[in-house]
Structure 1
Amino acid sequence: MASIKRVALILMTGASCATLAACGGADNVASPGAGSISIVTPAPSPSPTPAPTPAPSAITAAQFASTSGAGGSAGITITADEQLAIVNTGTNNNVSGVGSTINGVYPVAATSLTTAADPSAINSFFQSTNYVGALNGPSDTSFQGWTCNSSSAQFGGSGAACTAVPAVGSGGSSASCPTGTIDDGLVQGFKACRLPQNITSSLRLPKIAGVFYRLRGQTEVGNDVGTTGADTGITLTIEAGVTIAADSSESTNDLLLINRGSKISAVGTRDNPIIFTSQQNLANNGVSDATQGQWGGIIMLGRAPTGVCAAGTGPNNANGSSTTCQQAIEGVTGRFYGGPTAADSSGQLSYVQIRYSGIAISDGNELQGLTLGGTGSGTVIDHVQSHNSADDGVEIFGGNTNVRYFVVTGADDDGFDIDNGYRGFMQFIIAAQRTIGATADSFSTEIDSNGAEDLLPRTFSTFANFTFIQTANAPAAIRQRGGSDMRFVNGVVKTPANVACVNFIAQEVSQSDRSTIRAADSTKQDFGPPSFNSVYFACQGR
């Protein structure tokens, strides 16, 4: 019995040693020799090849285009099929894109969503680009620092939240207001230096720690010089980093208006933008992502041509050479824009934020974040953000001002609204609507001539490198009507479910002469149907 136990023990010890040797668990265990056990590790099963993501189905014309607003008493229509065909006439457009390629306002990859065109071939104003949309991939920093961040759009970088108190600084209790302003004492811990309502000589607003500048009521720079009057020589100069806040202590509509012949020079920097905002924004938690309409915004008026003339003035022509044509600007009473000077300058806005503005005076008569009326090509508008306007982010009535790096976040109506014969260019522009819901019938861009189909100059602009993130339950992201002309290059358009991408309307002439989409006609200064090249569309929440 003892002998059998010893044999069993020897066998068990040998098997244990074999196991240890095979596993490498004992460095000095001798191999059991010819009777050893080899353990072979089986090869892993190959990973299954992932199935390719199916290509999205082709969009239908009824999904891509809306006919809302068409018809009228004359029964004039542009069918959805016709609208889709117009877009497909262009090159490198993708009408069946998907929203998963876009994260907020940024593309998710560095590769352009569709083959880009070269907008510099159109005009020297445009920079040559090799991508579509306003942003060159997910790491583009060109909109960072000078913008503020909100639920509508996150740009990252050093930009603060739009709800954050601007960097006014400390020391207001001992600060002095500069000459030409009115000391209103301490307001929410900061020294308030109020602007006079009538600025009749040049005024400079320096950056002073602890000081903000206050707007009360309709604050005007200069007096109107008419369509052909000489410059007044009056300039409101605002230094980088300055905060200007509308007065919430009284009920009048606070706004800043630059009259024809005078100028504003508001030039911030990437890290020290100039901020126009409401006084409520100067307190912690004084505003939220839902805040809007707390003051009237900025109006700049110039002596460049307008296609729509007030009664008893004009008419104008294709060259905009009328010396009498002028029109009253929206939102205020008795202030006019227009004239024959296409190169007119109303000054400069660069690295500027305009927060929580926009007031509806009456239906169709509103104050926007920024209003340009007849401002000429000498006016400089770049690196400007209009945030949470209760109406349009920017509306441009006539004129020739070119725009570069302009972002509209959270507007309750249209992002970019152009009409009355505007003939400027825009590049690197973003419209990102309110995520909590903008007013119905609000478009990322609305282009028209206010029902005046063939008044001259004809509205004609080119948008290049644009990104439109539509959230409102409007007919479409892009509405074009009224006999206006338009060219779209290197764009990205994204809409939610039940919202089309385009909406072309022509209803004021005849079914045989649908001005918005008719063939080019130089005798009418008519460019032809809307033009699309290198535009990526992700419509209907696809």
Structure 2
Amino acid sequence: MATVKRIHRLLLGAAACSMLAACGGGDSGGGVVVVPPTPTPTPTPTPTPTPTPTPTPVVAPPSCPFVSGAAAFTLENAGTVTGPEGTWRMCRLPSDLGLRRVGLVYAPGVVYTIKGRVEINGADPELEDSVESSINFAPGTILMAEDADSYLVVGRGAWLIAEGTPTRPIIFTSRANVEGTATDVSSKQWGGILTANWAPISDCDAPAAVPGSRNCKRELLPSFPYGSNIVNYRESLLRYVQIRYAGAPIPGSDLSGLVMAGSQPVRTQHHIQVHNSGQGMSLLGGRGNFQHLLLTGNDRLYADVGYQGNLQYVVAAQRAGGPAGPILKIDSDGNEDVTLRSQLRMSNFTLLQRNGVPAGEAAISIRGGADPALVNGLLVSPGAPCLGIGGAATIQAANPAIGELGPPRIFSVSMQCGSPRFAGSNGVSDADVQAIFNMGTNNSASYTPGLIGGFVNGVTETALTAYDAKTVDAFFDTTPYVGAVRDANDDWYKGWTCSSSTLPFDGAASDCTRIPVFPADP
């Protein structure tokens, strides 16, 4: 019996060992190991995008700022105006600033306004040493014209000082722009800015007056003469400035956004944008010098009445669908042999002619015996002739006795043209114009543009040979390139400008149809 029980226990033990072996228990080397499946990882949650902060709306202060300076005064509180940026306090300037030296500070939520003709003049515009007046705009300030009849005129003996900065331009614009109703095709919503000074001119109101003499003057507007024989006198100052939607006709004048008459060379005007403003910019006599000009959406740049000054780094682009006419027009006195003739000198320019021209004219139109010099330029005019010259006096040989410099001087200018490429009129043939163009060095009338963004030099433009503009006038910088903007690293047009469908300088962030909002002064 004991033997049977022992055998029974052995059988049970063997069975147990068999079951353990089948499960791999007690054997870590040769059995089957069952590994549990790897768990599915928890997906990384998609981060919620940070919302674009909503700009804080502009809030109009309850009153207008005090105006600093001699004979200071309080501005008229003209109510508020509301637009996409918020609500602004309208602080209206008087129609006549009188004999004051006025400083307009930057104040958040404030737009300074003009209604009708607003003038600033010296005590006696006939005497250069009379009591003077001035108005000074701080960086970031906005001047709004309340209606189409509004404009600002600065007479002899008075000065407009508008000196913005690369990050805080000064803006002169229309009410529609502030209200947010101006568009990329809006124009002529107010008059503009006119300045008069003492530098010589060619067209005298008095028939017996000698051009360029003390008594040779013209009226820019009634009681606002310009011209004389005084050079290197004080001058208004425009730097880092935008003039928008101007050019509305005023009595006696089809106005440009900016008119400078009898301008002086003592201060270089620079970093100025004139946008969608009728005729754009007019230089009437004088000796004023300019650098870094942007003329966008306007009809033209115009020089007349014996203007003899310099312009460098100029971009001008017409708004497509605008009126027909040259993008650059250079004229002189009706008496084409007058001793004082227009001598515009321009280097490093890029001109975009996007509309047609009247018969006999061209994208660049020169007449009236004018003696311009065009250097290091690009002209894109696929739908119109490029170069037009009118009048035998405009192409006559040099004659120092009458101040004649000879035919227009053109060096290192490349043009894309419509047909015909050249247009002569009033005794000048198309072939005459072509011959004058071909006289210059490194000129081409078969240029195919490679411009980036419509105005920045690309590979094609970089390969063109430049001319030393300093040999034309000591004012100019010597540059190793043609055109206004050397390449993508040349960003002089950024930060202080506004963009439109005409040219995208700084993108949507600087749309010309919007008003920039700057923080309070530190």
TM-score (normalised: structure 2):
0.65
Gaps of 5+ in 1: 1-166, 507-513
- Which among 101, 117, 135 is matched to residue 218 of structure 1? 117
The answer on 1:359 being equivalent to 2:248 is yes
The answer on 1:476 being equivalent to 2:362 is yes
Using the alignment, how far apart are the partners of 1:312 and 1:530 within structure 2?
28
How far is the alpha carbon of 1:432 from its aligned partner? 0.1
Letter in 1 for 2:144: A
**1:451-490, aligned counterparts within 5 Å?**
451-474=334-357, 475-490=361-376
- Asked whether the 8 Å contact 2:122–2:133 carries over to 1, the reply is no
**1:33-432, aligned counterparts within 5 Å?**
170-179=58-67, 180=73, 181-188=75-82, 189-200=87-98, 201-223=100-122, 225-248=124-147, 253-284=149-180, 286-312=181-207, 314-316=209-211, 320=212, 322-329=213-220, 332-361=221-250, 365-390=253-278, 392-411=279-298, 413-414=299-300, 416-432=301-317
Using the alignment, how far apart are the partners of 1:521 and 1:273 within structure 2?
45
Structure 1 counterpart of 2:399? 521
Letter in 1 for 2:79: G
- Asked whether the 8 Å contact 2:306–2:333 carries over to 1, the reply is no
- Asked whether the 8 Å contact 1:480–1:505 carries over to 2, the reply is yes
Using the alignment, how far apart are the partners of 1:352 and 1:224 within structure 2?
28
Using the alignment, how far apart are the partners of 2:256 and 2:267 within structure 1?
18
How far is the alpha carbon of 1:177 from its aligned partner? 2.6
What SS does the aligned partner of 2:139 have?
A: coil
Deviations 1:293-331 (A, max 9, x none): 110000010011111100356222xxx3x21110011xx
Using the alignment, how far apart are the partners of 2:66 and 2:146 within structure 1?
18
- Which among 394, 409, 412 is matched to residue 531 of structure 1? 409
Structure 2 counterpart of 1:447? 330
> CA 1:313/1:275 → structure 2, altered by over 3 Å: closer, same or farther?
farther
- Asked whether the 8 Å contact 1:489–1:532 carries over to 2, the reply is yes
What SS does the aligned partner of 1:170 have?
A: coil
- Asked whether the 8 Å contact 1:469–1:493 carries over to 2, the reply is yes
Using the alignment, how far apart are the partners of 2:328 and 2:236 within structure 1?
25
Using the alignment, how far apart are the partners of 2:256 and 2:223 within structure 1?
18
> CA 1:398/1:227 → structure 2, altered by over 3 Å: closer, same or farther?
farther
What SS does the aligned partner of 2:323 have?
A: coil
How far is the alpha carbon of 1:385 from its aligned partner? 0.6
> CA 1:476/1:169 → structure 2, altered by over 3 Å: closer, same or farther?
farther
Deviations 1:153-181 (A, max 9, x none): xxxxxxxxxxxxxx997331335332332
Larger Rg, first or second structure (1 or 2): 2
Gaps of 5+ in 2: 1-54, 68-72, 420-447, 449-522
> CA 1:439/1:410 → structure 2, altered by over 3 Å: closer, same or farther?
same
Using the alignment, how far apart are the partners of 1:168 and 1:311 within structure 2?
57
- Asked whether the 8 Å contact 1:345–1:375 carries over to 2, the reply is no
> CA 1:526/1:216 → structure 2, altered by over 3 Å: closer, same or farther?
same
How far is the alpha carbon of 1:185 from its aligned partner? 2.1
What SS does the aligned partner of 2:394 have?
A: coil
Using the alignment, how far apart are the partners of 2:130 and 2:170 within structure 1?
25
What SS does the aligned partner of 1:199 have?
A: coil
- Asked whether the 8 Å contact 2:243–2:257 carries over to 1, the reply is yes
Aligned-pair identity (%): 32
Q: Work out the number of aligned pairs and report it.
A: 352
Structure 2 counterpart of 1:492? 378
Using the alignment, how far apart are the partners of 1:352 and 1:169 within structure 2?
24
Using the alignment, how far apart are the partners of 1:526 and 1:405 within structure 2?
29
Letter in 2 for 1:426: L
> CA 1:227/1:195 → structure 2, altered by over 3 Å: closer, same or farther?
same
TM-score (normalised: structure 1):
0.62
> CA 1:337/1:349 → structure 2, altered by over 3 Å: closer, same or farther?
same
Higher relative contact order (CA 8 A, sep 6+): 1
- Asked whether the 8 Å contact 1:195–1:214 carries over to 2, the reply is yes
Using the alignment, how far apart are the partners of 1:500 and 1:224 within structure 2?
48
List structure 1 runs of 4+ shifted beyond 4 angstroms: none
* Superposition RMSD in Å: 2.0
Using the alignment, how far apart are the partners of 2:337 and 2:126 within structure 1?
22
> CA 1:243/1:169 → structure 2, altered by over 3 Å: closer, same or farther?
farther
- Asked whether the 8 Å contact 1:172–1:186 carries over to 2, the reply is yes
Letter in 2 for 1:323: R
Deviations 1:199-218 (A, max 9, x none): 12011111100000001111
